[in-house]
Amino acid sequence: MIEQTLSIIKPDAVERNIANKIKVFFEKNNLKILKSKKVKISKEEASEFYKAHQTKPFYKELCNYLSSGPIVVMILEGENAVSKNRQLMGATDPSKAEEGTLRKMYGLSIGKNSVHGSDSAENGKTEIDFFFK
Ligand code: CMP
């Protein structure tokens, strides 16, 4: 099934100038970048975006981080794009991510893990609307 999902290249990766490498990686792996823009969001916007995590102990840190510098937000499209993107990203914690995944290659820590991807098709729609509506 052809799906769309939201991908974010986080501040640690934008700062290290590897956003383009990450984009090429998605395209090589059959995820088409339909839309892409570089933005900087406020702490309030980050808090809204990550509200599903509001009860987690790292919520504040997470929102501070996502709003700490420019990010690149993209709509990815392809066969089973949601799970495909998650596969390409690898485990949340880069030290546990499989070889060849984005977080293994580029992630610095569980917070600075270079990329975000929607965790379901439903959340994908919500997250795409958040940045592109
Ligand atoms: P992401 O896919 O963007 O979704 C939620 C984020 O929370 C996750 O990636 C991690 O970067 C972050 N996260 C998860 N666990 C922790 C933690 N223990 N400490 C800090 N950040 C975390």
Asked if residue 46 belongs to a domain, the reply is: no
**Ligand 1 neighbour 62 (Cβ under 6 A):** yes
Structure-token pair, residue 65: 């981080």
CB atoms within 10 A of CB 60: 12
Domain that holds residue 101: 2-6+14-39+72-114
Q: What does DSSP say about strands 32-39 and 71-79: parallel, antiparallel, or unpaired?
A: antiparallel
Asked if residue 49 belongs to a domain, the reply is: no
**Ligand 1 neighbour 113 (Cβ under 6 A):** yes
Q: Express each pLDDT in 15-37 by its tens digit.
A: 999 999 999 999 999 999 999 99
Residues 126, 133: Cα–Cα separation, whole Å: 10
116 is catalytic: yes
**Ligand 1 neighbour 116 (Cβ under 6 A):** yes
For the residues 35-52, what does the mean pLDDT come to? 98
Q: Express each pLDDT in 53-77 by its tens digit.
A: 999 999 999 999 999 999 999 999 9
Give the number of domains in the chain: 1
Asked if residue 47 belongs to a domain, the reply is: no
**pLDDT score, position 62:** 98
Q: What does DSSP say about strands 115-117 and 2-9: parallel, antiparallel, or unpaired?
A: antiparallel
Residue 93 CA to ligand 1 centre (angstroms) = 8
List strand residue ranges (DSSP E) for 40-131, in order: 71-79, 115-117
Say what percent of the chain tops pLDDT 70: 100
Global pTM reads 0.97
